[in-house]
Amino acid sequence: MWRLWFIFCSICLVYLGIIIRLFSWQVVNGSSLRLQANLQHRANFLVPSERGSIVDRAGNPLVINQPAFLVYGKPEEIENRSEFAKKAAPFLSLDASLIEEQLSLPDRLWVPLVHKLEKTRVEELKALALPGIGFESEPKRYYAEASIAAHLLGFVGSDQNGVDTGYFGIEGYYDRELRGKDGRIEIEQDASGAPILFGSAERIEPENGRTLGLWVDRSIQFFVERRLFEGIESYGAKEGSVVVMDPATGGILAMASYPSYNPNTFSVFDKELYRNPVVAATYEPGSTFKALVMAAALNKQSVRTTTTIEESGPVSIGNYSIRTWNDEYGGRLTMGQVLERSSNVGMVYVGRALGKENLLSSIRDFGFGQVTGIDLEDEASPVLRPDSEWGEIDLATATFGQGIAVTPLQMVRAVGALANRGWLMKPMVVREIVENNGKKILLKSKRLKQVVSEKTAKLITEMLVSAVDNGEAKWAKPKGYRIAGKTGTAQIPVLGHYDDKKTIASFVGYAPADDPKFVMLVTLREPTSSPWGSETAAPLFFHIASDIFLYYGILPD
Amino acid sequence: MRRLIRIFSRFAPFIILALVIIELVVTNSFVSLSDHVSGVEKEIQRVERENDDLTQKIASASSLLAIEEKAKTMGFSKTSRYMTIHQDEFLVSLHQVRP
């Protein structure tokens, strides 16, 4: 009898032990064991999204992704770390001692050695058949035209978490659209790591970044950059920029600055070069501003095309004396001749006729003192002084573009209004966004306001055509074309005074005058061959204009 | 009814055995299919990488810088002198004018 009881109690004890053990596994340690089990038989993969491409107006690629790899080492599989480091170092462009140091870090299963190594180098490394080396796909940005349009495009670097992020230009402004959204796969896997088909699987597809189609024409961008470089060399300038815009749509056809950098290798360049001078740097526009002041005065009917002035000598304002650029005075001048001769004295008269309130409101109407809203990351705008801080001399010098700071983009947009029947446009770089399913979203051009009437725009256009045909730069103009434009030579302010040896030479214009296909601004900082815009920026403008005429098939009259 | 139950109980073990064998066979084929799926996914990734590589090579070869270099090696040169001919201008004379 006692044997039966003994067996019965033993069986009960065994059952109790099992229940306690089950309780321990399922209740006490349940969550941690479930997690462990999940890790063992469920695989989680991040499916990275592909960054979107950037193409020009005709669909030619400007920025795409190229195959590249993260190279990592597995210290436990490397027998001789010193030998491994010596063999791998030349291909990784790293010091062998640094590689060895990384591999010697304690408790590391894998060690990243180089990010985004190009495919050719990876193939060479693979050929070495080094044990303990691994490769993970990590695409890299590729700028197909090298340094061309660098300031416009920006570049992709890593943020503080090592995530690819766009900086400056379009890469920065449209980073979210280009980045896309990473996907995820969670599947049940067997002991060998192969997926179990009838097991549970969760798959979230990545959303690749969108493709951006620009207004930029890569051919125009190419010869703008070539001509700018040639101009910088010929005229001995320190810096220069060119911006070309379609006045009817606000679309940027080309934007170039020198010095520049190559976004493919941005890290080796000075960080100061990343900033786009066309949208972020300021300058005093000089005589190019006269076109806008004259247009405002004509629009307000403060002057007419038949109005004349007597240019007999300098104009005194307080302790200041305003002279013409060559200290020559032409006597009785029409408004057209004021522009042809680029007369500062004539412009002071126009400014006085316009009046302080109208002059300042016109400057604001043309978009100065505020950002244009262009879709580039680094745009800035100088602030206009409050109206109460404008003295008589400030108003006088503003009429010929000194004592007022603008960005090149603001200037070209304002003159673009004269080419567009008086309508100021919002400048745009991106023309369309292409979704992953191929659907195109067209970004519509935006008309902001009509700053001058259509009639005024026609009048000022004729005056600017005459300024080109009869002004100081007429020798460089391509024959047979009607080009409306204005030269500018602005002294650079240095420590509270103007340096008469250092200038910013510029030319702004649009063509063909009767049906403008482009408006363009050329600026050269401190040209040494000649300080004058008529002898440096103007010829450069006309060279580029000739290239554009040929490209568009625009025939001379 | 009793007859049906008797017949079913006679054949039930064989039916159960057959179902077990079918499940084993199907599971086994799924496992080998999952290996195949894994292989196909790797192949897709390889082809996608190759695609990206070719896209980059095409973009590089068709870049204006590359075209400019190729044009130079082929003997093309820049010219700033060109003529334009309007539509109303004849390219050749149809009737030779004799002095």
CB atoms within 10 A of CB A26: 11
Higher pLDDT, A411 or B44: A411
Helices (H), A2-45: 2-23, 30-41
Among chain B, residues having any CB pair with chain A shorter than 8 Å are 27, 30-31, 33-35, 37-38, 45, 49, 52-53, 55-56, 59-60, 62-65, 80, 82, 84, 86
SS3 sequence of A348-396: HHHHHHHCHHHHHHHHHHCCCCCCCCCCCCCCCCCCCCCHHHCCHHHHH
Question: How sure is the predictor about A318, in pLDDT bands with cuts at 50, 70 and 90?
Answer: confident
Question: How sure is the predictor about A329, in pLDDT bands with cuts at 50, 70 and 90?
Answer: confident
CA–CA distance from A192 to each of A188, A289, B31, B38 (Å)? 11, 74, 11, 11
Quote the pLDDT of residue B87.
63
Quote the pLDDT of residue A217.
95
Chain B contact present for A126, CB below 8 A? no
Mean pLDDT, to the nearest integer, of A223-248?
Answer: 96
Q: Alpha-carbon distance A66 to B63, whole Å?
A: 15
Distance from CA of A198 to the nearest CA of B (A): 7
Determine contact, residues A342/A287, Cβ cutoff 8 Å: yes
Mean pLDDT, to the nearest integer, of A271-281?
Answer: 95
Q: Alpha-carbon distance A117 to A90, whole Å?
A: 12
Task: Return the number of CB contacts < 8 Å for A and B.
Answer: 61
Q: Alpha-carbon distance A293 to A356, whole Å?
A: 12
Strands A211-214 and A54-55 turn out to be parallel
| pLDDT for A273 beyond 90 | yes
Q: Alpha-carbon distance B47 to A46, whole Å?
A: 19
Mean pLDDT, to the nearest integer, of A61-77?
Answer: 90
Determine the Cα angle at A362 with ends A361 and A363, to 5°: 90
Backbone angles phi, psi at A14, to 5 degrees: -60, -45
Quote the pLDDT of residue A303.
94
Chain B contact present for A46, CB below 8 A? no
Q: Select from A243, A342, A283, A324 the least CA-distant residue to A526.
A: A283
Residue with tokens 């109790």: A16
Interchain contact, B64 vs A555, CB within 8 Å: no
pLDDT in tens, A331-366: 899 999 999 999 999 999 999 999 999 999 999 999
Quote the pLDDT of residue A421.
97
| pLDDT for A510 beyond 60 | yes
ipTM here: 0.73
Interchain contact, A195 vs B53, CB within 8 Å: no
Strands A423-425 and A331-334 turn out to be unpaired
Q: Select from A206, A213, A172, A182 the least CA-distant residue to A53.
A: A213
Any idea how long chain B is? 99
Determine contact, residues A186/A43, Cβ cutoff 8 Å: yes
Question: How sure is the predictor about A199, in pLDDT bands with cuts at 50, 70 and 90?
Answer: low
For residues B16, B21, B25 and B31, what is the CA-based torsion angle, rounded to 10 degrees? 70
Query: Which is the catalytic residue, given A49, A53, A260, A287?
Result: A287
Question: How sure is the predictor about A46, in pLDDT bands with cuts at 50, 70 and 90?
Answer: confident
Q: Alpha-carbon distance A401 to A404, whole Å?
A: 6
Least confident of A53-62, A75-84, A433-442: A75-84
pLDDT in tens, A384-394: 999 999 999 99
pLDDT in tens, A417-474: 999 999 999 999 999 999 988 899 999 999 999 999 999 999 999 999 999 999 888 8
| pLDDT for B97 beyond 60 | no
| pLDDT for A203 beyond 90 | no
Whether residue A82 lies in the annotated active site: no
The residue type at A315: V
Question: How sure is the predictor about A197, in pLDDT bands with cuts at 50, 70 and 90?
Answer: low
| pLDDT for B99 beyond 60 | no
Interchain contact, B52 vs A195, CB within 8 Å: no
Determine the Cα angle at A415 with ends A387 and A294, to 5°: 60
* Residue A489, SS3 per DSSP: strand
Residues 6+ apart with CB under 8 A from A370: A364, A381
Quote the pLDDT of residue A162.
77
Interchain contact, B49 vs A67, CB within 8 Å: yes
* Residue A73, SS3 per DSSP: strand
Chain B contact present for A200, CB below 8 A? no
Chain B contact present for A194, CB below 8 A? yes
* Residue A303, SS3 per DSSP: coil
Q: Alpha-carbon distance A349 to A346, whole Å?
A: 5
The residue type at A371: V
pLDDT in tens, B41-90: 889 888 888 888 898 899 999 999 899 999 999 998 877 677 776 666 55
DSSP string, A379-442: ---PPPPPGGG--HHHHHHHTTT-S--B-HHHHHHHHHHHHTTTEEE--BSEEEEE-TTS-EEE
Quote the pLDDT of residue A152.
95
CA–CA distance from B13 to each of A185, B4, B8, B26 (Å)? 41, 15, 9, 20
- Classify residue B86 by burial, with Cβ atoms within 10 Å: 0-12, 13-18, 19+: exposed
Determine the Cα angle at A114 with ends A111 and A119, to 5°: 125
Residues 6+ apart with CB under 8 A from A410: A367, A368, A372, A381
Quote the pLDDT of residue A210.
95
Interchain contact, A61 vs B31, CB within 8 Å: no
* Chain A interface disruption, residue of B40, B49, B52, most A CBs within 10 A: B52
**Average pLDDT over chain A, rounded to an integer:** 91
Quote the pLDDT of residue B92.
61
* Residue A133, SS3 per DSSP: strand
Residue with tokens 């993969």: A45
| pLDDT for B98 beyond 60 | no
* Chain B interface disruption, residue of A143, A153, A187, A198, most B CBs within 10 A: A198
pLDDT in tens, A525-540: 999 999 999 999 999 9
Chain B contact present for A64, CB below 8 A? yes
CB atoms within 10 A of CB A57: 18
Nearest residue, CB atoms, A195 vs list B37, B45, B86: B37
HSE value, Cβ hemisphere, 13 Å, CA-based, for A191: 0
* Chain A interface disruption, residue of B40, B56, B57, B60, most A CBs within 10 A: B56
pLDDT in tens, A151-160: 999 999 988 7
CB atoms within 10 A of CB A362: 20
Determine contact, residues A333/A308, Cβ cutoff 8 Å: yes
**Which strand (E) or helix (H) includes residue B96?**
none
| pLDDT for A99 beyond 60 | yes
Nearest residue, CB atoms, A64 vs list B30, B35, B59: B59
Reported pTM: 0.84
DSSP string, A155-179: EEEE-TTS-EEEESHHHHHTHHHHH
Nearest residue, CB atoms, B53 vs list A67, A197, A550: A67
Quote the pLDDT of residue A249.
97
SS3 sequence of A40-52: HHEEEEEECCCCC
Through-space distance between the first and last CA atoms of chain B, rounded to whole angstroms = 127
